[in-house]
Structure 1
Amino acid sequence: MNNTELKGRLMLKVVGILYIVFASFSILAGLVAIAGGAALGITGGGESLALGLGALAMILGFVAILSSVFSLVVGILGVKWCNRPDKAGTLFVLGIILIVLAALSLLSSFGGDSSSSVVSGLIGLVLPVLYTLGAWQNKQSLQ
């Protein structure tokens, strides 16, 4: 099959590149949070509030890095396999996982006072939906 027949190829490639870029920045932010939390814990002079906030920042940084590594892998696979209709099923499943995670993030934003968190949650659904759509289009090209 000619790769130009794969309708989702370009969408997977572009969204994959965006995932790589955003995940890289998020990993960097997670590392900064870990370093900042450690610095706060060290310079807090043994105060329990500083130690607690430092530990919390480090934990949140670690969680951010873990989720960003998943996004980085998904982005790399999207770019790498955008021309492979035999891998479209795997990319589709990864896209569904991304949609579920983005939906959970959106649901958690409804408890807050700010409508901007809901808007950002809705925007956060766009990339996973486009990724999944591209994988689905490639999957349809295989049939």
Structure 2
Amino acid sequence: MPVKYKAPGKGFLQVPGILMIVFSSILILILLLGATVLGSVGAMAGLADVDMAEAMEELMDGAQVMLDNPTVHREVLALGLGMIMIVLNLISGIVGTALCNKPGGPAVVCLLFGLILLSGGVLSLALSGFAWSGLLGLVLPILYTIGACLNLFARRPARDGVPVQ
């Protein structure tokens, strides 16, 4: 009977990967719900016999004033980065869960995703200002990267006297 092999970083990749999938899915649903609500409000404004051209002109004037503010630039950049990070978290969670028990070469992909998530988290923390919640957001990418490193340098045990890579 063959012995089941467990990669040393399996738990560090699998658990954060599953949590990343769950949290990212919830955030994507929230973003889609928010977009749906905004679309519904726009549709109701159209039904309420509002002069849409005038409303859009006022909105654009207000947007121009906001866009001239450097603080808004930083916040919009942080929001865009946050949305990209949600999608990257989802993808890396799926990849980490799929490759959690594969040492050696496949762990390079997980390590790459882990480093991208870490750098994106640090950049987002720097753009939006220091917050303890931002530091907590780095916990899963750190654990994920540790698991990828453990699997990267692991070797499978020998089978029938022949080392397996």
TM-score normalised by length of structure 2: 0.68
Give the residue type in structure 1 aligned to 2:113: L
Give the drift of 1:43.
Answer: 2.6
Instruction: Find the partner of 2:151 among 122, 138, 141.
Output: 138
Task: Could you list the structure 1 runs, at least 4 aligned residues long, displaced by more than 3 angstroms after superposition.
Answer: 48-53, 63-67
2:113 pairs with 1:129: no
Q: Percent identity?
A: 36
Instruction: Find the partner of 1:120 among 133, 139, 148.
Output: 133
Higher helix share: 1
Count of residues in Structure 1 that have an aligned counterpart in Structure 2: 130
Give the residue type in structure 2 aligned to 1:129: I
Unaligned runs of 5+ in 1: 54-62, 111-116
Unaligned runs of 5+ in 2: 64-79, 156-164
8 Å CA contact 1:26, 1:65 repeated in 2: no
Supply the distance in 2 between the matched residues of 1:35 and 1:132 (Cα, whole angstroms). Answer: 35
Q: What's 2:72 paired with?
A: none
8 Å CA contact 2:85, 2:120 repeated in 1: no
8 Å CA contact 1:40, 1:50 repeated in 2: no
Mark the structure with the bigger radius of gyration: 2
Q: What's 2:67 paired with?
A: none
TM-score normalised by length of structure 1: 0.77
Give the drift of 1:3.
Answer: 2.7
2:93 pairs with 1:75: yes
Supply the distance in 1 between the matched residues of 2:10 and 2:43 (Cα, whole angstroms). Answer: 49
- SS of residue in 1 equivalent to 2:100: coil
Give the drift of 1:50.
Answer: 6.8
Supply the distance in 2 between the matched residues of 1:106 and 1:121 (Cα, whole angstroms). Answer: 6
Mapping of 1:1-143 within 5 angstroms?
Answer: 3-4=5-6, 6-44=7-45, 45=50, 46=52, 47-48=55-56, 67-85=85-103, 86-110=105-129, 118-142=131-155
Taking only aligned residues, the RMSD between alpha carbons, in angstroms, comes to 2.9
Supply the distance in 2 between the matched residues of 1:18 and 1:108 (Cα, whole angstroms). Answer: 25
Give the residue type in structure 2 aligned to 1:3: Y
8 Å CA contact 2:17, 2:97 repeated in 1: yes
